[in-house]
């Protein structure tokens, strides 16, 4: 449904059906909805998406919900019933995109696979996000983001050498998969402009993580080298590490550019290292990474965090510190870039949420409203499908809507 608010947005007029839950699929549709797509989110009656009860709950609803589900319309519908499946077919008949993240084969069991839906709507684009993809020997295994992060190679590299690996503090595997799902959607839409045909997009959580692993595989193939955990350092790129300050804080310093390295060594009072020809380029510096890190930390331990950052800013050396949520919420650059925005909750209270990315100059995305109540738009969408009141009453009585 295109509204005056969405008419000028780049995805206005795009109808998206979301059959997913939790993170990967719904994060993809969130991004599409921020740029004008009409996202119809199908949720189980009574319970809804489990994300409604994840993380911090306030007034019965997850605060995360207001980020993940903004700009969507919620329809409560039991997909395990023949009547519910028929309503999905009717919705998909004139939809542009359908996003799902069930275990492979689930939609086919319900008669809602791509072959069935595209027969009635050849232009339909179906985006399928799963742990291991729609094919292969692991296809039928259940997979969450953390498992994809582990299989994709990321989890092995996190943490300190010789200690158990740690997870990234957010669901990065799901979020990366969502980004690939959106990229695939936009590519498929471009192809449909030429051919008029839709297609399936197969996104696997582990592959989305693996695609981020830089030179991990070619290094192993060429030399048999297995990259190991390295704590806060970035192996093979020197210097790039976390360094303790006088006050016990940490600063992150990335002095790995050739000219940047010289400026950094000048700031810390090590001119001989700055002029050492063996350290002129990254490969030489990497061979002496321990020596360079020790020199930097010997300097950083003598100064406070803000003093260090001011000196490095003046020397044009990239540096920072690990931001907390409080740091983010009050940072002037975040505020100036409109990355901290607020919307009004149904009870009238404001809630700060992340802004919209990417930033388009002519058709920027919308913040819109927070996550809808369960089934808030069921009647509206049934109206659009032309479902009469007598049929609706039967569906309600049967618990299908």
Residue 46 in tokens: 């009574």
For residue 254, what is the enclosing H or E element? strand 250-254
Asked if 174 is an active-site residue, the reply is: yes
Question: What is the Cα–Cα distance from 182 to 261, expressed in whole angstroms?
Answer: 38
Residue 144 in tokens: 């969450």
- The residues near 7 (Cβ < 8 Å, ≥ 6 apart) are 36
Task: Spot the catalytic one: 174, 249, 258, 347.
Answer: 174
- The residues near 114 (Cβ < 8 Å, ≥ 6 apart) are 107, 124, 126, 200
Question: What is the Cα–Cα distance from 215 to 153, expressed in whole angstroms?
Answer: 12
Q: Is the CB of residue 148 less than 8 Å from the CB of residue 158?
A: no
Cα-based angle 141, 143, 147 (whole degrees, multiple of 5): 120
Residue 17 in tokens: 């059906």
Residue burial 1-32, b: 16+ Cβ < 10 Å; e: rest: eeeeebeebebbebbbbbbbbbbbbbbbbbbb
Residue 94 in tokens: 């004139």
Give the bridge partners for 350, in sequence order: 344
Question: What is the Cα–Cα distance from 36 to 57, expressed in whole angstroms?
Answer: 28
Question: Taking the CB of residue 150, how many other CB atoms lie within 10 A of it?
Answer: 17
Residues annotated catalytic, as ranges: 174
């Amino acid at each position: 449904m295109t509204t005056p608010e969405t008419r000028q947005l780049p995805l206005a007029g795009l109808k998206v059906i979301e059959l997913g839950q939790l993170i990967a699929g719904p994060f993809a549709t969130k991004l599409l909805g921020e740029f004008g797509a009409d996202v119809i989110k199908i949720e189980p009656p009574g319970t809804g998406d489990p994300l409604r009860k994840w993380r911090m709950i306030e007034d019965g609803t997850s605060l995360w919900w207001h980020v993940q589900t903004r700009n969507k319309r919620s329809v409560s519908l039991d997909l395990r019933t023949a009547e519910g499946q028929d309503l999905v077919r009717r919705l998909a008949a004139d939809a542009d995109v359908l996003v799902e993240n069930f275990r492979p084969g689930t939609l086919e069991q319900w008669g809602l696979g791509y072959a069935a839906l595209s027969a009635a709507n050849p232009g339909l684009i179906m985006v399928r996000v799963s742990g291991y993809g729609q094919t292969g020997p692991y296809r039928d295994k259940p997979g969450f983001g953390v498992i994809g992060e582990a299989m994709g190679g990321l989890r092995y590299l996190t943490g300190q050498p010789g200690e158990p690996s740690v997870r990234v503090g957010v669901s990065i595997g799901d979020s990366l998969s969502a980004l690939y799902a959106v990229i695939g959607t936009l590519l498929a839409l471009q192809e449909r402009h030429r051919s008029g045909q839709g297609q399936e997009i197969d996104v696997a959580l582990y592959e989305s993580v693996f695609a981020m692993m830089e030179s991990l595989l070619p290094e192993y193939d060429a030399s048999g080298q297995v990259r190991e955990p390295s704590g806060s350092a970035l192996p093979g790129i020197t210097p790039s590490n976390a360094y303790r300050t006088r006050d016990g804080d940490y600063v992150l310093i990335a002095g790995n550019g050739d000219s940047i390295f010289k400026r950094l060594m000048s700031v810390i009072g090590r001119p001989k290292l700055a002029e050492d020809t063996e350290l002129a380029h990254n490969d030489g510096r990497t061979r002496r990474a321990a020596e360079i890190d020790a020199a930097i930390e010997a300097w950083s331990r003598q100064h406070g965090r803000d003093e260090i950052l001011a000196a490095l800013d003046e020397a044009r050396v990239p540096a920072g510190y690990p931001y907390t949520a409080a740091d983010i919420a009050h940072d002037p650059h975040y505020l100036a870039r409109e990355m901290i925005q607020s919307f009004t909750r149904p009870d009238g209270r404001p809630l700060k949420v992340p802004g919209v990315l990417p930033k388009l100059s002519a058709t920027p995305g919308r913040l819109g409203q927070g996550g809808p109540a369960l089934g808030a738009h069921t009647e509206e969408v049934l109206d659009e499908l032309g479902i009469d009141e007598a049929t609706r009453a039967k569906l309600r009585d049967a618990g299908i809507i």
